[in-house]
């Protein structure tokens, strides 16, 4: 009964260890996939922004952006909006929003009158905090 075993006199013990190598491999592959696909998930409209020397303004809520394309077309998000219907749509959108602030992202080749008309419609909708989205000026210009 108390006879020693062949492995130096100790009884055989089962070691239970988790092999984390496959877990690390899977996590690295997922990290690479997310790093590659994240830039592709950003959606938007192609607009050439003007450059300014001013820095950005931090916001606490998701900003509402009105895009004015080169041809004068207005977009609220990805939905096209007619200039005549802009005031009514903005009143409906901002009726439930706490932060009554809007940002205009206008192409640099848009006529100034179109931007001024859009700003007038925004103010007529009761929104007085209007910001302009621009690019930082490069050092040589």
Q: Where are the domains of the chain?
A: 51-136
pTM above 0.85, yes or no: no
The one-character DSSP state at 1 is: -
Q: Give 116's strand partners.
A: none
The pLDDT assigned to 28 comes to 95
Q: Which CATH architecture has domain 51-136?
A: 2-Layer Sandwich (3.30)
What pLDDT is attached to residue 57?
54
Kind and range of the H or E element at 66? strand 64-68
Helix (H, G, I), strand (E, B) or coil at 36: helix
- Does residue 7 have a pLDDT over 80? no
Check whether 37 has a pLDDT greater than 80: yes
DSSP letter at 6 equals T
pLDDT score at 30: 94
Per-residue pLDDT for 34 more than 70?
yes
Percent of the chain at pLDDT above 90?
14
- Tell me the pLDDT of the chain averaged across its residues: 80
pLDDT for the residue numbered 58: 56
Reported as a pLDDT band with limits 50, 70 and 90, residue 136 is confident
Q: How far apart are CA 61 and CA 112, in angstroms?
A: 28
Those residues with Cβ within 8 angstroms of residue 119's Cβ, 6 or more apart along the chain or in another chain: 104, 130
């Amino acid at each position: 009964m108390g006879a020693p075993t062949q492995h130096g006199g100790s009884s055989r013990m089962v070691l239970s260890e988790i092999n984390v190598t496959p877990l690390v491999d899977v996590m690295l592959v997922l990290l690479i996939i997310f790093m590659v696909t994240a830039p592709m998930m950003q959606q938007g409209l192609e607009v050439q922004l003007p450059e300014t020397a001013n820095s950005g303004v931090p916001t606490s809520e998701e900003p509402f952006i009105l895009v004015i394309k080169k041809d004068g077309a207005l977009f609220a998000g990805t939905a096209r909006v007619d200039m005549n219907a802009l005031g009514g749509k903005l009143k409906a959108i901002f009726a439930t929003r706490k932060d009554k602030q809007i940002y205009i992202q206008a192409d640099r080749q848009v006529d100034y009158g179109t931007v001024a008309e859009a700003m007038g419609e925004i103010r007529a909708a009761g929104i007085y905090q209007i910001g302009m989205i621009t690019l930082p000026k490069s050092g040589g210009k």
